[in-house]
Amino acid sequence: MAERAGVSVSVASRSLNGHAKAYRISEATVLRVKAAADQLGFRPSHTARSLRLKKTGLVGVVVPDLANAFFASISRTIALAAEAEGYSVIVADSREQTEHEVRLLHQLEARQVEAFVVCPVGSEDAHLRQIDGRGTPVVLADRTFPDCGLLQVTSQHRRGARQATELLTAKGHRLIGVLQGLPGTLPNDQRLCGHAEALAKVGISMDHSLVAGDNFTEASGYVSAKRLLAERPDLTALFAFSTPNAMGALRAAAEAGRSVPEDLSLVTFDDCPYADLMRVPLSTVCQDVERIGQLAAELALRAVTGSARKKTQCRHDVETRVIVRDSISSVRN
């Protein structure tokens, strides 16, 4: 290509990489080089440039379940924010398995991603701290860990769960079943705390036998709701810790002959694009997914340049908001 344009290899390279002005290469030469490149179908090698500059322009994003609209939305927001700054994003699904999360992170680390945004499974953080300690910034989103030292962005889970339960207690509900997510993760445990606080406000101690579930999935919501409704037919309401949990609960309620909201109220943590389009629009505690994703991406990219590495606030809590729809009714006397 340089030969076709009648210039040296260095002149051709500088012309194509936008450095012509710095090396006083004329506009006519630049146009000649670009014309030769077009004729030959030449495209600069991003890989070669990455090796030379030791920068790949890649950000790794790992989430526990891409089928979950919440994590899909976070991934998209991170991708848009990163791409606006000239980075490309690789998204991976850990399938809610810590061991798979570890493998994915090591694979992406081998591809020399410049930063990670991880919505971790949430049970272990040692591998995340090790990667960050080796020099690749890791920002945690949604499921975080207290006092782990990594940059973190999450919702006000405790406050949101308290608000959700208060919606139910304000309508007279006192027997409330909880469809929890993955036990031991920060969102799940914080939501349980918020639920207990709201119950305490009306003089009720939380009954742990009314808490069921082992994941934030529809399958877990279905199995948990089916069991609770069978064991405790006197339940008047369910609090689902995720929208997929709520979808499972709706199926279980229908099979049990319970109608929402006529004889079973339902509130869920998380919102989704179709929550208000359902036959019975769901009342939800809405997380600001866009803010979580944008802030996580911003912190990751700033960390790449060194401007955010442990020099800023470590943990950022994003506010939740309540959306009241039609899935809650007053307790019948």
How many whole angstroms separate alpha carbon 43 and alpha carbon 109? 26
Q: What's the confidence (pLDDT) of residue 54? A: 55
Q: What's the confidence (pLDDT) of residue 85? A: 93
Q: Is the pLDDT of residue 48 over 80?
A: no
Q: Is the pLDDT of residue 51 over 70?
A: no
Name the percent of the chain lying above pLDDT 70: 91
Q: Is the pLDDT of residue 53 over 60?
A: no
Helix, strand, coil % in the chain, rounded to nearest 5: 45, 15, 40
| Secondary structure, 3-state, 92-123 | EECCCCHHHHHHHHHHHHHCCCCEEEECCCCC
How many whole angstroms separate alpha carbon 128 and alpha carbon 120? 9
Q: What's the confidence (pLDDT) of residue 44? A: 56
Q: What's the confidence (pLDDT) of residue 311? A: 47
pLDDT confidence tier of residue 76, bands split at 50, 70 and 90: very high
The amino acid sitting at 204 is I
Tokens 């936008």 belong to 18
List the structure tokens of 330. Answer: 């007053």
Q: What's the confidence (pLDDT) of residue 1? A: 63
Any residues with CB less than 8 A from the CB of 155 and at least 6 apart, and which? 142, 187, 287, 288, 292, 317, 318, 319, 320
Mean pLDDT of 188-198: 98
pLDDT confidence tier of residue 9, bands split at 50, 70 and 90: low
Mean pLDDT of 168-185: 97
Q: What's the confidence (pLDDT) of residue 329? A: 97
Q: What's the confidence (pLDDT) of residue 47? A: 47
How many whole angstroms separate alpha carbon 238 and alpha carbon 230? 13
**Chain mean position to CA 321:** 17
Q: What's the confidence (pLDDT) of residue 50? A: 47
Cα dist from 14 to 9, 34, 44, 52, whole Å = 9, 11, 11, 14
pLDDT confidence tier of residue 43, bands split at 50, 70 and 90: low
The amino acid sitting at 159 is R
Which of 127, 134, 76, 72 is CA-nearest to residue 97? 127
Mean pLDDT of 136-151: 93
Taking the CA of residue 181 as centre, how many other CA atoms within 13 Å lie in the half-sphere pointing to its CB? 28
Q: Is the pLDDT of residue 278 over 70?
A: yes
Q: Is the pLDDT of residue 226 over 80?
A: yes
Instruction: Render pLDDT for 313-323 as a digit per residue (tens, 0 to 9).
Output: 688 999 999 99
List the structure tokens of 179. Answer: 């469809």
Q: Is 265 helix (H, G, I), strand (E, B) or coil?
A: strand
Contact 247, 218 (CB under 8 A): yes
